[in-house]
Amino acid sequence: MSNGLSGIINTLETLARYDGPWRVLRDETDLLQTRLAELRERENRLDDVLLVALVGGSGVGKSTLLNALAGDQIAATSEMRPCTSAPTVYHPPGMRLALSHASEVTHVPRSALEHIALIDTPDSDTIVKEHRAIVEQVLQECDLILLCADAEKYLDEATWSLLRPVRGLRAMVCVETRVRRADDAIRAHWLKRLAENGFEVDTYFRVNALRALDRKLAGATSSADDDEFEFPALEKFLRHELDRERVARIKSSNAAGLLTRTVDRLYERVQKEKSELATLRTAVVEADQTLADATLRHFTAGALAEPHLWVQALGREVGLRAKGGIGTLYKVLEFIRSLPYRMPGWMSFDVYRYKQTVQATALFTASDQSDKGDDALPESLLARYEGLHSELRMRFIRSGLDMEACAADNSYQEELGRRIRDVFSGKIHERLAARARLLTAWPMALLLDGLPVALLGYTGYMIARAYWHGNLLNTTAFFHAGTVFMMLVIVEVAFMAVGVRLLAWGARRKGLLALKRALGMPGLAFKREKEMLAETDALMETISQLRDGVSAPGLPERYSK
């Protein structure tokens, strides 16, 4: 076989072992395994003899036809009632055929047909279940069907019901038996009805097998007239036209037909689920968007949007890096100002809002500790996620995808916590640290401390000068100097506080944008559901490629290589 065909069969074997959550494909695995077993069995018999089944209703002359082809009374015949209850196999010497549903099989191993074994089957219109089972098994194992019928039974529904399961999977030859006059009306009508029902017929013969048998039993080598009709042509077809090359083509065509039927059935089955899976995919996208919107609203319009939190966070960074007198004073004032957030309950009576504030503050104060970020995940969002997840699970189950309840599914919490920590310990923390370094740099510290130090120096100089000249400075001078000093300190601390607020406002605006981008990225939630849909998409694509492969021209030829 070619690599392409080997790949098709290997892929089918992989699909036949599928035990994943998609029930639609799981329900097809048993049939796939059965079809693959038949394919492998037919592959092993590509070089074997051609199994030709004689199939037809009671009294149409199947056994007589077999006797005429053999030239001897090898199968029992009767004009009054059906008499074939077990298969008769007329085959070349050395060949054996086992039929498990038959209690006994008559083997006649003296056929002169080198590449062919003829199987006379019980009547297809029988009411005996065992006999119909034998016919069904022979139809499954044969390579070519000689469909026998006379003018009364060529449209017999009981026969057609047995043939429909192998329609398109077996080569078929029509044999109109018990012909007595030259009239092609039955040929035209029979072939038309077969074509309307999807049966393909290779060729058609009109024969009178009884006259041919009588002639052979009498010892005549050929008919003196045309009273046997196309029986000589049927013999020529079996003896000469069905050579090894044509036998191989028939076997390959049957195997290719079985492969095509298998893939087509699988393709049609999964295509019926395409719209349902598309609806399910839309539901996942909508649930994902709903959860993403709720997450964005919570983290960008809730406690994290409060300006004082960003001022507090930047103030903490400034306090850690503060230098000089003004910086130290700012650090002390910042510590005093943040006491309400450090000591629960001092300045808040709204417990829920206070809890949100504490959680949001923890993102700034523990931004460098990845194991503390989970504390910021709110219960409201987790409850929303669980509701959406439960609804999706029920929709998946109704759509044929099994989803086991998973109480320990923390994928959303973990992914949300990771993204928040990445933002706060990454861009947000870097921006706050950069702004804090700008406010606490040595040039800024010297600039802020310069005027108060200069004022203190000038006051000291005035005191020393007055003392040197023996003069005493009055209380008003000290009061004025102290007032100016305090004003300078207050102005510079206020300047530093304003700078912190302005820079915190800018950090808040950019930080919330970064948080929105991070939370808006795909894959925040429902990872398991998306993986299942991706798996079904991959399976459907694989099956579509299989169908394209078996639909390619030349499949029978490729199968025989």
Say what the pLDDT of residue 12 is.
92
Q: Which of 30-44, 228-242, 498-512, 520-534 has the highest mean pLDDT?
A: 228-242
pLDDT tens, residue by residue, 271-292:
999 999 999 999 999 998 898 8
Cα distance between residue 533 and residue 20, in whole Å: 12
Are 237 and 319 part of one and the same domain? no
Are 197 and 300 part of one and the same domain? no
pTM as predicted: 0.71
Are 224 and 367 part of one and the same domain? no
- In a domain, residue 533? The reply is no
Are 231 and 334 part of one and the same domain? no
Say what the pLDDT of residue 365 is.
59
What would the two tokens of residue 467 be? Answer: 């003392």
Are 54 and 184 part of one and the same domain? yes
Say what the pLDDT of residue 361 is.
61
Are 368 and 427 part of one and the same domain? yes
Mean pLDDT of 123-141: 89
- Return the CA Rg of the chain: 46
Residue 103 CB-density burial (10 A; 0-12 exposed, 13-18 middle, 19+ buried)? exposed
Please say if the pLDDT value at position 482 is more than 70. Answer: yes
Q: At which of 241, 261, 294 does a domain end?
A: 241
Domain count for the chain: 2
Please say if the pLDDT value at position 81 is more than 90. Answer: no
Say what the pLDDT of residue 1 is.
39
Please say if the pLDDT value at position 348 is more than 60. Answer: no
What is the total residue count of the chain? 561
Nearest C-alpha neighbor of 304 from the set 367, 242, 249 = 367
> Which residues are CB-contacts of 491 (< 8 A; sequence separation ≥ 6)?
none
Say what the pLDDT of residue 374 is.
44
pLDDT tens, residue by residue, 359-376:
556 566 544 444 444 444
- In a domain, residue 38? The reply is no
Range(s) of the domain holding residue 162: 48-241
